[in-house]
Amino acid sequence: MKKQRPVNLDLTTISMPATAKASIFHRVTGVALFFALTFVIWAWSESLSSAEGFEFVKGLFSGFIAKFIAWGTLSVLGYHLIGGIRHIIMDMGHWEELESGNLSAKVAMALGVVFAVLAGVWIWS
**Rounded to the nearest 5°, which phi and psi values hold at 62?**
-85, -10
Q: What is the pLDDT of residues 8-57, one digit of tens each?
A: 777 778 889 999 999 999 999 999 999 999 999 999 999 999 999 999 99
Nearest to 32 by CA among 73, 65, 86: 73
Q: What is the pLDDT of residues 79-90, one digit of tens each?
A: 999 999 999 999
Decide: 105 and 18 in contact? Cβ < 8 Å: yes
Distance CA 49, CA 94 (A): 47
Q: State the pTM of this model.
A: 0.84
**What are the distances in angstroms from CA 85 to CA 88, 105, 124?**
5, 11, 28
